[in-house]
Chains A and B, each alone.
Chain A
Amino acid sequence: MSAPIWIADAADRYRVDRPRVFGPGLRAKPTRRGVVVLDLHYSADPDGVTPELVVREMRRLGCEQRDDGTWSLSWRWLKEMELDWVAQSGAQVFDSLEQQEQHILEPAYYLRYEIPHDARPSDEARLIECEPGEVGPIRVWISPLDQPGNLPDGAYVQRSFGVGSDISEGVGASDSTVVVFTADTREHAAVFADNTIRPVDVGRVAVALCRYYNNALLCMVRKMHGISALREVLDLGYTRVWREKVQNRAVEYAAENYGWPKGEASSPQLFGRWQDALRHQQVTLHDAITLDQHRQYLYDEHGRISHSALRHLPVEVRQRHGDLVIGAALAYRAVIDLPKYQEYSHDTSPPELSMAWRRQQRELRRQRDRALPYGEVR
Chain B
Amino acid sequence: MASEREIVEARWAMAARDPRYFSRWFVFTLDSQAQERGESNPIRPWPARPHLDLLCGLWWHHPMLFVAKSRQMMVTWFASMISVWQILFRRGALVYQQSKRLEDAMGDEATGDGLLGRSKFILSHVPYRSWLLPRRVVVRSDSIQIPGMHSGIQAIAQGGDKIRSHTVTQLVSDETAFQPEFSAALTATMSSIRKGRFLGITTPDLTDGGASMRLALDMTDEEAIA
Contacts and interface: CB of A to CB of B under 8 A. Distances in A.
Interface of A: 4, 6-8, 10-11, 13-16, 22-23, 25-26, 28-29, 31-42, 44-45, 47-49, 53, 57, 79-88, 247-250, 268-269, 272, 299, 302-304
Contacts of B213: 85-86, 303
B184 interface: no
A84 to B, nearest CB: 7
A57 B71 CA distance: 10
Nearest to A13: B57
A32 B217 CA distance: 10
Given A7-B56, A32-B218, A88-B206, A37 B68 contact: yes
Given A47-B49, A83-B204, A28 B73 contact: no
A83 B157 CA distance: 25
Contacts of B18: 4, 6-8
A84 B204 contact: yes
B206 A48 contact: no
Interface in B176-192: 180, 190
Contacts of A36: 58, 62, 64-66
B14 interface: yes
A120 to B, nearest CB: 43
B54 A26 contact: yes
A87 B177 CA distance: 14
Q: Which of A15, A79, A247 has the most CB of B within 10 A?
A: A79
Chain A contact residues: over half helix, strand or loop, or mixed? loop
A79 B17 CA distance: 37
A14 B74 contact: no
A25 B159 CA distance: 31
Interface in B60-93: 60-62, 64-75
B196 interface: no
B132 interface: no
A304 B19 CA distance: 39
A33 B65 CA distance: 11
A355 B62 CA distance: 84
11 contacts: A32-B218, A33-B190, A33-B218, A34-B64, A36-B58, A37-B218, A40-B75, A49-B73, A82-B70, A303-B205, A303-B207
Interface in B130-164: 141-142, 157-159
Contacts of A7: 18-20, 56-57, 60
B34 interface: no
B20 to A, nearest CB: 6
Contact of B51 (A13, A26, A35, A249): A26
Contacts of A80: 70-71, 203-204
A375 B58 CA distance: 99
B209 interface: yes
Contacts of B46: none
Contacts of A81: 70-71
Given A4-B14, A268-B180, A304-B209, A40 B68 contact: yes
A87 B141 CA distance: 37
A47 B74 CA distance: 12
Contacts of A25: 51
B106 interface: yes
A246 to B, nearest CB: 11
Contacts of B14: 4
B70 A85 contact: no
Task: Please name the 3 residue pairs, one residue from A and one from B, whose CB atoms are nearest each other, closest first.
Answer: A303-B206, A42-B70, A14-B57
Contacts of A272: 207
B73 A45 contact: yes
A26 B65 CA distance: 14
Contacts of B218: 29, 31-33, 37
Given A6-B17, A36-B58, A247-B101, 6 more contacts: A4-B14, A14-B61, A80-B204, A85-B206, A268-B207, A299-B206
B110 to A, nearest CB: 17
A79 B62 contact: no
B62 A14 contact: yes
B82 to A, nearest CB: 11
A79 B74 contact: no
A250 B102 contact: yes
A40 B70 contact: yes
Contact of A40 (B20, B51, B158, B224): B51
